[in-house]
Amino acid sequence: MSDFVAAVNELARDFPIRIHRVEHDEQHFGDACAVLSISEIDLRFTRDKGELWFEILVPISRSKWYSLGDVMHVLKIPFEISGPKDLISTMRSVVNHLCNHLGEVQEALGAANRGEITLQLDRLIQCRVSKTFGFNTK
């Protein structure tokens, strides 16, 4: 069993989550992906060439994933992963943080607010891309 799959199984044992999908490819640098649910919030962990990404699904289209850090930024919820940087510690910190702020996230992504939140997230991403590539956004 890979360390990624073991970490996901450990999360399922220790947190109130459902596992929807786990994919792992040892032949491609150990790339892996796991989709989990915490209450009605879908969380995706992706390991690509050794880097770990965590994203949340905004339920407006059921197909648009946003960086969990960006979602927390837009919601003005501090988001910093502290402690050891090993795989399981990082994943546990992310899930714990989301569990601690689950009510706020659910309210923000509820039907009444998700359109505005999605708009803010898209603006944040557009601004980041513009700065990265030196586009003028006037």
C-beta pairs of 75-81 under 8 Å, 24+ apart in sequence: 75/101, 75/104, 75/105, 75/108, 75/117, 77/101, 77/104, 77/105
Residue 25 has pLDDT above 80, yes or no: no
Residue 68 has pLDDT above 80, yes or no: yes
Please give the mean pLDDT across all residues of the chain. Answer: 89
Domain regions of the chain by residue span: 3-133
48, 84, 104, 115, 126 from 60: Cα distances, Å: 26, 34, 17, 7, 19
Give the DSSP H or E segment for 57: strand 51-58
